[in-house]
Amino acid sequence: MDKVSSDCPYPGCFFCVMKEGNPSKRRASVLKFFRELPIQDDDGQVLPISGLWNTAMAHPNDPEFIELGIFECMAALIWKGLKNRRWLSHDQNIYIPYYAAHIIGSYTMNMEEFAESAVHAGVIPPLVELLRGRLTWVEQRVAVRALGHLATYASTFPSIASNGEILELSIQLAMSSLEIVYSHFYQYVDRRLSYHCDLLTRGMGGVEMESRKAEEWASQLQCWSLQLINCFAFKHEFLPTICKPEFLIKLPGMWGGLVNENSPAGIGLLRTICHQKLGRGPVASCPGIIDALCNIARSSDDWQYMAIDCLLWLLQDPNTCHKVIDKVVPVLVDLAEITTLGDHKKLGDSIVSVLQECIQSQGSGRSSISNRTKEQIEDVLNSKQRLKWEKNMPKEDLHIKQAAALVVKLEGNSLFSSGNISGAASKYSEALALCPMRSRKERVVLYSNRAQCHLLLQQPLAAISDATRALCLHKPVNRHAKSLWRRAQANDMLGLAKESLLDAILFINECSQSNDPDLSLRQNKVPDYAERLVKKQMRAAWLFREAAVKHGGVHSQGDGGDMYGPETDDSEWETASESDIGNDGRDDMGDDDDGDWNNDDDRKDYDKPSMKDIKHGYNVQLAEEEP
């Protein structure tokens, strides 16, 4: 049996107690320690609390400390810090409320029975006080995390919901969290609280690391607030509180930066709201939200399917369909040929079914569709019918159609090379009309080439539409490098920084894995034009951008200039990108490309890059493209 050290200066030291070899004695000593810790004023209390924090993070499902009263102890310590500022400011006690709330959150994130024990131990009231901002934003962050975990379980949610203040506080925190962290920590280096710096960097200090970690924690503060609100959003009685225009309009912009790849962000909350009839009305009444949902649906990030779900539900609801149909249909038409998106199988078929319902509902007089919208839907339905017809055509006839499409495409390439961009776009449209529907690779090239024409003709919306169609047809979905780049440029023209940034980073990731000599890795260098676009959009989409503008700029790294690089001349971007135009098409078409004639469902569907891949994507080293 291990013996308790006689050299320890602290009677009843937690670390000495844990060395006790006799299990029953150790449990009795731990029980006593948890009971007595909140009433002691000895120095060195932060050490056992930090040790408990490490244990909770490493073994969140271990019931031993739960049974011995750790929740009661942590709740009492938070109350002590809130009520006794003299004790809080003594020694290193300032850290204790943070660690205590973090411990509660860690032990309740997986186990419902632990969450029930926490509620019975009275953790909710002190956590709510931290959520109110009684201390600082650092404690708010761990309080909203813990309350969010407690709200996820059916047995403990009523205890959270009974405190009406929690939802209102969470909504306010979601809207103001970035400004709070910016103004209370990021903006003024010389005013940063030392214990905040220590917590953020865990001893590995430095102004730059503190600033970057503050961005990550600010993002988490917002995302965990949204997660807590999301628990309320499943209950219709709370939707009137959540669905206020001043909050809804901000949700699409609450994306959590690029550091929280597992967070659904604001779009996830919107999806929960749109899933319920009571929530769809307020969403449909905010044009800005519909525009944002359309932009996200035509993007390549991990939240694309959430936006698509929202649009489909809004379109299927007779009470909201007429408000959104003219904006939503063009987007869904572009996505109609998408196959698998994450766990969503045959998503394009679901989209076509909803569009078909819109036409049928017009006939019943339930909704009014403009002629333009009706034509777009009918084009999609005709394409599906055309695919059915082609299945019954002899393979030789399909090859003839494919060869005819190639001839027209080459004519378009020639017109493009001679500077007749409009003529080239027309030829690509003609080739698309000839090309068999199952010739997916060739159609990817045609749409992508036409997107390039639209870019040069200063038609960014048309370029986004064509690039999106190419990306939906591509196998794997959203991984066609040149279409990603063209859509990144088009989004840039429209001032859609986040969408442009995600496409540009994915473009760089695809280049790093491509066998295309125009795109592949050479000399370990990122193409200058891609690097410039990424830096520009990272400045524009900077997490603290809005707060920085509101507070009149920032100190040192402020607007992201030093962080993301200086401003650069954008004029080269449109001409710097390589194009499929000029390719003779033999790589994308012909008898040796049997894949176009096989069942697409039998092909290997590669994993889409995670948000973690996206976050680090701009650091991939690529070659500079030849002019």
> Which residue has better confidence, 540 or 17?
540
Confidence at 577, pLDDT banded by 50, 70, 90? very low
Q: Tell me: the pLDDT tens digits for 344-375?
A: 888 999 999 999 998 888 755 555 788 999 99
Domain of 58 in residue numbering reads as: 8-233
pLDDT of amino acid 557: 41
> Which residue has better confidence, 53 or 257?
53
76 domain residue, yes or no: yes
Please give the share of the chain, as a percent, with pLDDT higher than 90: 61
317 domain residue, yes or no: no
pLDDT of amino acid 552: 79
483 domain residue, yes or no: yes
Q: Which of 82, 114, 117 is nearest to 98 (CA)?
A: 82
Q: Tell me: the pLDDT tens digits for 149-192?
A: 999 999 999 999 999 899 999 999 999 999 999 998 988 888 88
Q: Hey, what's the torsion of the CAs at 388, 439, 334, 298, to 10 degrees?
A: 140
Q: How far is CA 566 from CA 59, 195, 553, in A?
A: 45, 33, 16
Residue 344 β-bridge partners:
341
Q: Which of 77-91, 246-260, 458-472, 493-507 has the lowest mean pLDDT?
A: 246-260
Q: Which of 1-10, 68-77, 291-300 has the lowest mean pLDDT?
A: 1-10
If DSSP states are collapsed to H, E and C, what string results for 19-83?
CCCCHHHHHHHHHHHHHHHHHCCCCCCHHHHHHHHHHHHHCCCCCHHHHCCHHHHHHHHHHHHHH
Mean pLDDT for 458-466 is 97
What is the domain count for the chain?
Answer: 2
40 domain residue, yes or no: yes
- Measured at the CA of 469, the angle between CA 587 and CA 261, to 5 degrees, comes to 105
Element (H, E) at 434: helix 421-434
Residues whose CB is less than 8 angstroms from the CB of residue 533 and which lie 6 or more positions away in sequence, other chains included: 488, 489, 492, 500, 504, 570, 573
CB 17 within 8 A of CB 30: yes
Residue 341 β-bridge partners:
344
366 domain residue, yes or no: no
pLDDT of amino acid 514: 67
30 domain residue, yes or no: yes
Q: Tell me: the pLDDT tens digits for 188-234?
A: 888 888 888 888 887 666 788 888 888 889 999 999 999 999 999 99
Q: Hey, what's the torsion of the CAs at 275, 279, 284, 289, to 10 degrees?
A: -80
pLDDT of amino acid 624: 24
pLDDT of amino acid 255: 81
- Measured at the CA of 616, the angle between CA 214 and CA 230, to 5 degrees, comes to 55
CATH code of 531's domain:
1.25.40.10
pLDDT of amino acid 574: 30
How many Å apart are CA 428 and CA 430, to the nearest integer?
A: 5
Residue-wise DSSP of 300-362: -STTHHHHHHHHHHHHH-HHHHHHHHHHHHHHHHHTTT---BTTB-SHHHHHHHHHHHHHHHH
Write down which residue in 551, 585, 613 finishes a domain.
551
pLDDT of amino acid 598: 33
pLDDT of amino acid 8: 61
pLDDT of amino acid 368: 73
pLDDT of amino acid 516: 64
pLDDT of amino acid 576: 28
* Cβ count near 54 (within 10 Å): 12
pLDDT of amino acid 125: 97
Write down which residue in 233, 265, 280 finishes a domain.
233
49 domain residue, yes or no: yes
User: Helices in 438-550 by DSSP H: which ranges?
Assistant: 440-456, 460-473, 481-493, 497-513, 528-540, 545-550
Is the pTM for the entire model greater than 0.75? yes
pLDDT of amino acid 124: 97
pLDDT of amino acid 192: 87
Please give the share of the chain, as a percent, with pLDDT higher than 70: 82
* 364-377 burial: b if 16+ Cβ within 10 Å, else e: eeebebeeebeebb
Q: Which of 406, 360, 362, 382 is nearest to 591 (CA)?
A: 406
Q: Say if residue 476 is preceded by a cis peptide, omega within 30 of 0.
A: yes
Q: How far is CA 354 from CA 32, 289, 311, 351, in A?
A: 63, 21, 10, 5
Write down which residue in 493, 523, 551 finishes a domain.
551
Confidence at 238, pLDDT banded by 50, 70, 90? very high
* pLDDT exceeds cutoff 90 at 1: no
Average per-residue pLDDT for the chain: 83
pLDDT of amino acid 595: 31
How many Å apart are CA 342 and CA 52, to the nearest integer?
A: 38
Structure tokens at 536: 């520009």
How many Å apart are CA 595 and CA 599, to the nearest integer?
A: 8
Q: Tell me: the pLDDT tens digits for 102-154?
A: 999 999 999 999 999 999 999 999 999 999 999 999 999 999 999 999 999 99
pLDDT of amino acid 536: 94
Q: Hey, what's the torsion of the CAs at 560, 566, 570, 571, to 10 degrees?
A: 170
> Which residue has better confidence, 67 or 7?
67
600, burial (CB in 10 Å: exposed 0-12, middle 13-18, buried 19+):
middle
| Helix axes 265-274 and 287-297, enclosed angle (nearest 10) | 110
Mean pLDDT for 467-489 is 95
326 domain residue, yes or no: no
* pLDDT exceeds cutoff 50 at 499: yes
pLDDT of amino acid 411: 96
